[in-house]
Amino acid sequence: MCVIFTIIGGLKFFDLIWIFEKQNPTRDSHVLATLIYSMAFRQYRSGYGTAISVVQFILILAVTLLSLRLFRKERLEY
């Protein structure tokens, strides 16, 4: 579970980038979360921001399912 939460947290790395870049991330420092916010609320391109958030959801889901499959333990039968 720790691996899954670490991967999900890494993909949603918004707050530190936002604070360090003084609420204006450059092109090189954007992550998916800051790009979603920038597109949806600053450039008023809500469709593009929504599409990026769907891609982020699919990435998180795929990584979670893959890690659950890799780290699955066999059931003990009595």
Task: Please indicate, yes or no, if residue 40 is contained in any of the structural domains.
Answer: yes
Buried b (16+ CB within 10 A) or exposed e, 13-52: ebeeebeeeeeebeeeebbbbbbbbbbbeeeeeeeebeeb
For the chain (length 78 residues), average pLDDT per consecutive 10?
74 80 82 87 92 88 85 70
Residue 47 lies in a domain: yes
Q: Is residue 9 part of a domain?
A: yes
Q: Please report whether residue 75 resides in a domain.
A: no
Give the H or E element holding residue 6. helix 2-11
Give the model's pLDDT for residue 49.
92
Say if CB 31 and CB 39 are below 8 A apart. Answer: no
Q: Which domain holds residue 64?
A: 2-70
* pTM greater than the 0.75 cutoff: no
Residue 29 within any structural domain of the chain: yes
pLDDT given at position 76: 62
Q: Is residue 23 part of a domain?
A: yes
pLDDT recorded at residue 77: 67
Q: How many domains would you assign to the chain?
A: 1
